Amino acid sequence: MYWTKCTIIACQPGHEFGFTVLGPCDKPANTWRYRFEPSGNDTGKGRARWPARWKPALNAFVIAFEDRITPSET
């Protein structure tokens, strides 16, 4: 199994999620950032569906990497 340490760099539910993958000597090797923007759907249904779509995946990520996630303040 292969794993790396990650540092959360952004976490605003419904708006943004980002993390940095740490390489040798805990130096940043890669950064992933996801920004969620309105689709132009003014009904509000998209925002209501967001937690149902992403919460299980984010929870699984946290559970899988719980001992390797270092919280950071942004």
Is the separation of the CB atoms in 69 and 58 below 8 Å?
Answer: no
Number of domains in the chain: 1
Q: Give 45-63 as a 3 state SS string.
A: HHHHHHHHHHHHHHHHHHH
The CA-to-CA distance between both ends of the chain, in Å, stands at: 31
Q: What is the pTM of this model?
A: 0.50
Segment 23-47, tens digit of pLDDT: 888 888 999 999 887 766 666 665 6
Three-state secondary-structure class, residue 25: helix
Question: In the beta sheet, which residues pair with residue 19?
Answer: 8, 32
Q: What is the pLDDT of residue 71?
A: 65
Q: Report the distance separating Cα 13 and Cα 57, nearest Å.
A: 13
Q: Which domain holds residue 59?
A: 5-70
